[in-house]
Structure 1
Amino acid sequence: MDIQALVRKNILNMKPYSSARDEFKGTAEIFLDANENPYPSPYNRYPDPLQWRVKEKLAALKGVKPEQIFLGNGSDEGIDLIIRAFCEPNQDSILITDPTYGMYSVCAEVNAVNVQQVLLTPDFDLDLDAFPKTFDATTKVLFLCSPNNPTGNLLSTAKIEEVLKRFYGIVVIDEAYIDFATGKSFVQELAHHPNLVVLQTFSKAWGLAGLRLGMCFASEAIIRVLNKIKYPYNVNIRTQELALDALENVQQKEAWVKEVVKQRDVMGKALRQLSLVEHVYPSDANFLLAKVKDAHGTYEYLMNQGIIVRDRSRVALCYNCLRITIGTPEENQRLLAALKKYTA
């Protein structure tokens, strides 16, 4: 597949902005090239525009090359740039599977790109029969969220692989919650699918949501396109420093994941025993989707108790469903105690 043939022509032909730190790579004693304040603050210098130290550590962890990684201001920056790079405004489309993460549609609409939708099956998996009836020659990017938000489940690996064979555009697999799942990551499949992009994040398992650092893994050709159109210094120095610290302590991330998964199982069993809960869906993420008798009433009650969950009733296939993030054991027990009183 020729990735360049998929890129918007104006993007392909544009000359990217070149910052002072792009033009000089190396060490020096005196920097007088970027119009910075010369007095240490200690953040008077611009950050590395391509975050090479973070990428090198991340590449070793993920089994890819640093050149196959794009780092952005949250995964949302990667989503936005992918749409901008491959979709012509007022002409092309993206394809999403409902229900799914809402930012795919928001980024498409901001960029004047059409959104095509195909429903997941009742058990929240891909409906392969519906795909050919939905996308057309204008469909340039397909977004698949796995584990899915808000449903929590992994999409079928076999079905994703079938989609990768059938779809001629860019296939984005959003793996924001993959650390909590037992299924494989598609990062290791990049060599087999030049049109594949995998999104991950430091926000969930790594506990760094406040830093807003997203990861994007793809072929070197796709990463070069994203680097071409990103803002020059899109990831600040402090974020890069804290990401490096986190990557030095993978054991902490793994310990958090183990505890969250344990608590997820405890919470699932406890919720299923409550009379107000009609169904708790299987989850491969750090949250549970629970169908209740009255989602709005339950949400309002919990809010008055100082406990905030999310009512997903307005999302396709999720009527009367609450999305409940797994908290600390103490937070989880407080939620369960409140729900028991509500059902009494």
Structure 2
Amino acid sequence: MNILNLVRENIKSLKPYSSARDEYKDATSDDMIFLDANENPFENGVNRYPDPQQNSVKDLLSEIKKVDKKNILLGNGSDEVLDLIFRAFCEPKEDNIITLPPTYGMYSVLANINNIENKTVLLTEDFQPKVEQIFEKVDKNSKILFLCSPNNPSGNSFSTNKVEELLKKFNGLVVIDEAYIDFSEEKSWLERLEEFPNLIITQTLSKAYGLAGIRLGVCYASEEIIAILNNIKPPYNVNELTQQKAIERLQKVEEVQQEIIEIKAERNQLLESLKEIDFINTIYPTDCNFVLVKVDDATKRYNQLIKKGIVIRNRTTQPLCENTLRFTVGTSLENERLLQALKEI
């Protein structure tokens, strides 16, 4: 596959903005006086522009994920990464994407913002892709297929065989959103990144790494795709404070892994305890840090829990999710309060 054939014509000829720190990269040198970027010269820790390529963060991610730096792009949250993909590869009013509801809602929002048609193919009743139906929707202008695995809001991972078939047969980009992969027993598709030139994997530091507040999203793809996205990203899209906090957290991998173990243990306990709630009809399998359940009346139960000071997510308006509620796995104390409230209502 020639990735350049998928790129918008105006993006192919785009000359990217060259920032001061792109032109002179050794911004950490103590021997240099920097009078090139019109910064305030008085040192306060953030008076200088941040590294536009976030090299220190990428060094750590490269080591942790066993992926070369040239295959990594960072964004102001995964949403910016996804938006960059739209803007690089989808021609407004002409191209289309394919999404598989119920899924992460930002795919359709970004399609609307970028004036791109969103073709939808519902998942099966057990939340797996319908491969044959997907290809019935594909046409010559189908640029991107979005797969959220583990899936939000259902919580399950997609069949490896189905995903592999889609990767091999789809003549566009396949974006696998792995925001929740750290909580799954399934292997990340990062291990097979080099097999598929059309594969893009997005991850985040918002979930397992506990950094939702700093908004840092990660994109893994071929060097060719990363270069295209780098050409159109804002020059300083990830601020200095975000980079510092990410570095601090990525240097504590053992601590993060321990938190993941605890969350998974709490999840397993929650799954067992929810079986005792009589108005819960179905507890769906999950590879995430949340649990989706089907109840008798989702809106009623949601409002009852709100009155008891517990905020969950009512997913009943989503396809295949009528009368479902989504519980994030909290601390042991938070989960006990949730279960107690469920028993009382």
Shift of 1:214: 0.5
Match of 2:20 in 1: 20
Match of 2:223 in 1: 220
What amino acid is aligned across from residue 4 of structure 1 in structure 2? L
User: Does 2:45 correspond to 1:42?
Assistant: yes
Shift of 1:29: 2.0
Unaligned ranges ≥5, structure 2:
none
Q: Secondary structure in 2 aligned to 1:215?
A: strand
Q: Matches of residues 76-95 of structure 1 in structure 2 within 5 Å?
A: 76-95=79-98
| TM-score normalised according to structure 1 size | 0.98
User: Does 2:128 correspond to 1:125?
Assistant: yes
Partner deviation per Cα, 1:100-137 (whole Å, 9 max, x = no partner): 00000101100000100001110001111211111211
What amino acid is aligned across from residue 132 of structure 1 in structure 2? F
CA distance in 2, matches of 1:52, 1:157: 32
Match of 1:142 in 2: 145
Match of 2:247 in 1: 244
Q: Which runs of 4+ in 1 moved over 6 A?
A: none
Instruction: Give the one of 221, 226, 231 matched to 2:234.
Output: 231
Q: Secondary structure in 1 aligned to 2:85?
A: helix
CA distance in 2, matches of 1:154, 1:187: 15
Give the number of aligned pairs: 342
Match of 1:10 in 2: 10
User: Does 2:54 correspond to 1:62?
Assistant: no
CA distance in 1, matches of 2:70, 2:246: 18
CA distance in 1, matches of 2:238, 2:305: 37
Aligned Cα RMSD in Å? 0.7
Match of 2:181 in 1: 178
Match of 2:158 in 1: 155
CA distance in 1, matches of 2:113, 2:184: 32
User: Does 2:113 correspond to 1:102?
Assistant: no
Partner deviation per Cα, 1:7-49 (whole Å, 9 max, x = no partner): 0010010111110001111234200000000001221000000
| TM-score normalised according to structure 2 size | 0.98
CA distance in 2, matches of 1:155, 1:51: 32
Instruction: Give the one of 249, 255, 258 matched to 1:255.
Output: 258
Unaligned ranges ≥5, structure 1:
none
CA distance in 2, matches of 1:254, 1:10: 43
CA distance in 1, matches of 2:231, 2:61: 21
Shift of 1:315: 0.3
Q: Secondary structure in 1 aligned to 2:317?
A: coil
CA distance in 2, matches of 1:135, 1:117: 11
CA distance in 1, matches of 2:334, 2:59: 37
